[in-house]
Structure formats: C-alpha cells, structure tokens
Amino acid sequence: MKTSQPMSAARMPRDAGGTSETSLGQRGEELRSCIRFVLVMAVFVPPAIAQGKADRSKSTDLIECSVTSEQLDKLNGSPAELVLANGKRIKDVTIVKFVRGSNKDAVRTVVYRRPKRKTASRLRAGALVRIVAAERAYDLVAVPALKGWMLVDVDEKTKVVSARLKAKGRHVWPELSADQQADAVREQKKFLAGVRQKFSGLPLRLYETKFFLFLTDMPAAQIGVYIAHLDNMSVELGKRFGVPPGENIWRGKAVFVVFVNQPSFVQFETNVMNMSPASTNRKQGICHQDNRNGDVIVACHRGNDPHYFAQVLVHETTHGYLHRFKSSARIPSWLNEGIAEWVSTIVVRSSRAPLKRQADAVLRLKQTGVVGPSFFGKKIESWHYGVASRITDSMITQNSRAFGAWIVSIKEGVEWSQGLQKTFGVTPQQLLLRYGRSIGVPMIRLQ
C-alpha cells in the first residue's frame, strides 16, 4: 500500500461531539422531536407510471437495461444459480418459469426445480438479489407500482454505467479474484508493519477479522465492542443498498489505525499520511479514500469518551463504505455526512452526539432561518451535520427502498438531484422546505 497516493479525507468535527447532562436536559423536547420526525415524502413511484397503469410496451424503459417479457420466456428451462437476499446461494437448479402479474415484464415468483426432484420449488422475487441463468447474470430490481421485480442484465448495465462514469472521470470498482484480494491484504499488512516500525515505542497490535485489519495500542479487552459496531454498520448499510450479508465490498480489507492518545494520531497523520497538523488537531477521526484503487484507511484516537469514540469510528468507516460501494462516484457531502450520522446513531445507541447535533441545528435555524448555500455544495459546515442526518433519517424511515435506489443511481453516475427527483419526486429545494416545515421554520432558505 503506497501512502504517497493521492487520498481524499472525510472528517468528523471533534468539537461537535461534546455534550453534558445539563445541555441534553434543556433540549429534551428537541431530542424527542428528532426521534419522532418523519418528512412527508413522495412514495417511490417512477413518474412514467405514477398516473395509472403502466404501458407494457414502455415498462422496460423505467428500469435501465431491464429484461422484456419475451426475454424472460427464453430463460425457461435454463440452468441457473439463485442468489438470495440473505447471502445464501441455491446452485444447479433449472428455471421452470417466472410467475407474473398483469404486467408481463415484472416478476413476482420464480419457479425452479432442483436436480432429481420431481416437484418444483418457488421463491418470491423479493427474496432474490441475483439470478445467473444461461451463463448471464441478472439483478432483481423492485418496481412497487408494477407490484413486482424486473430483471436487469448485469453485463449490459455495467457497460452503460461504465460509459456514464467514464465521461465524469469515475469508474466502477473492479471485482477482484480471490488471489487479487489476498495480494491486496498482503500489501495492506506490509503498510501496517511499516506503521508499527515508525511507532515502535507503542504497544501496537494487529487484529484481523473477515473484513477489517485493526492496528491499535488499545488494550485487547476493549477491541471487541468496536469490531462488533463495525460489523453491525456493514449489516445496516447492506440492508439499505442491497449488499448481501457476508459480501466483501473492500479492496482487500478496510484498514484501521487507532491510537489511544491524540498526539500519536496527529503524528501518524502528518508523518505517514502527509496531512498538515492544522487539519488534524481538532479531529478525532479521518477516513482516507484512495480514488485510484479504492483503498480505505480509517485513523482515529480513542479519547476519553468510549461512546463518542465508537460513534466517530462508525461514522468515518461509513465514508469508506460509501466510497467503495459500486464505483468511485462521489456521494454529495450533505448526504454522505447524513448517512454516516444516521447509521452511527442506529449502531451506537449509547452515544447521543448525533441527536444533540440535530437539536442544535434546529435551535440555530429557528433563530436565523438560513441554512447557507454550502449545504448543497462541495463541503458542508460542521453544524450542517444535524440538518443532514435528520433529513436522511426521515427519507429512510419513509421509504427505505427508494432511498437505496437513489444511492445506487448516484453511484451509477446519475446526478444526485436528478436521482432525487426520480425516486422521491422532489427537488433539493422542496426537500429543504419540507424539513423546514417539520421543525417549525416554514420559510427556511439557503441564503
């Protein structure tokens, strides 16, 4: 692993996490309203069929690279492998037929037969994420308005998405073989061995799990709870984005360098990651993301609050997960931070820092009514975290499936505002106005 490669860093403000029992008590009602808050969002219905019944001749235009009813019929009798949403695989089966409703392009049930079985078996289309049939892979995409799922030709979709991303200077992350993954892990371990040499005065030990390489000088007894939080983060994000449990999205593994004390963290950032001291001395964690090969390095220091540190660790790792998901296309800053805050709240329930940030943002907006033009810009301000997380939570609560489809579209090269319009039926300005009304600031504005 070459640390001289250009890396981008996502940072969580150190000073945003401190809290006290007194401040939380004073804003108790605000915190409770944060939990209750749900935006009234449009249901995920593609505009072309929101007005009524879909035109069968145009239904395949709704989902990019989807399969027609005629193509579905041709797959009957094909040898296949079924990949379930829970990560399990059913191999060496034969497709008997696809059960459909009034729209013949949308599948509701897959009927298949196992070898040497006289009777056929059935699976709801919603239980599947992929079908490999006739030596081609098809992903299943939900289309609620059709009350079914459409099959998407993976090879064709990859070509279309790759071309779109290439035009924007981005690319799909390649699927690595087992040997390539093993080589990546060896490279990462070599990098960590170099870190141990540079910090030979610290009792740094490497802990390895299925998906993580965790180098730290923390006592061994403290490691388990943080690894469990990271595993739970992967599960929660996988549910939203359609990543089956047990699937490794990382190049090799996600790399963590975690120090007990801040000075060691700052030294690592300046001497190893080539960051300036000014950019690290108020941070508790940084996620480094390599835009060329997709490597992710999360560096943190534990500090004195184990609950807040756990939240920071999950937050920063979420940035890495979003970086590695599907492609190098960037999630906009406000949404990236919103997702990181949302999942860290779900996973680390003992930390109230995200809820406090939400309450603080509401208090500020009730005084000013101005979010600021940077909210939808390249990089949000630290106080925007509370706005972003509350909007993100509301969207996931209202329509998790639509939210996942939106993130996928962004990673496939669609402009985030266009994807928002397609999946939720609102513009960024309308989204902000709905948030403003929900917190009692109906005239909220960007500037």
For domain 63-155, give the CATH number: 2.30.30
Give residue-wise pLDDT tens across range 317-353: 999 999 999 999 999 999 999 999 999 999 999 999 9
Residue 41 has pLDDT above 70, yes or no: no
Per-residue burial over 126-139, b = 16 or more CB atoms within 10 Å of its CB, e = otherwise: ebbbbbbbeeebbb
Average pLDDT estimate for 52-79 = 79
Note the pLDDT of residue 56. Answer: 46
Q: Tell me the C-alpha distance between 349 and 344, whole Å.
A: 8
Can you give the pLDDT at residue 29?
Answer: 39
Do 310 and 30 meet the contact criterion of CB atoms below 8 Å apart? no
pLDDT for the residue 63: 87
Predicted confidence at residue 108, as pLDDT, reads: 96
Distance CA 376, CA 446 (A): 9
What is the model's pLDDT at position 27? 39
The position carrying tokens 């600031």 is 441
Q: Where are the domains of the chain?
A: 7-36+173-325+330-438, 63-155
User: By mean pLDDT, which of 10-24, 61-75, 228-242, 357-371 is the weakest?
Assistant: 10-24
Return the pLDDT at 61: 66
pLDDT of residue 443 exceeding 90: yes
- CB atoms under 10 Å from CB of 97, counted, come to 16
| Predicted confidence (pLDDT) at residue 279 exceeds the cutoff of 90 | no
Contact 335, 240 (CB under 8 A): no
8 pLDDT exceeds 80? no
Do the Cβ atoms of 442 and 194 come closer than 8 Å? no
List of residues 6+ apart from 403 with CB closer than 8 A: 240, 395, 396, 423
7-36+173-325+330-438, what's its fold? Neutral Protease; domain 2 (1.10.390)
- Statement: residue 167 has pLDDT above 90: yes
Question: Could you tell me the pLDDT band of residue 60, with boundaries at 50, 70 and 90?
Answer: low
With tokens 């108790």, the residue in question is 28
Specify the range with the lowest mean pLDDT, choosing from 14-28, 128-142, 204-218, 236-250: 14-28
Structure confidence at residue 12 (pLDDT) = 44
pLDDT in tens, 111-162: 999 998 989 999 999 999 999 999 999 999 888 778 899 999 999 999 999 9
Residue range 402-441, pLDDT digits in tens: 899 899 999 999 999 999 998 899 999 999 999 999 999 9
Residue 392 clears pLDDT 50, i.e. is over it: yes
pLDDT beyond 90 at 391 = yes
Lowest-confidence region among 25-29, 119-123, 180-184, 406-410: 25-29
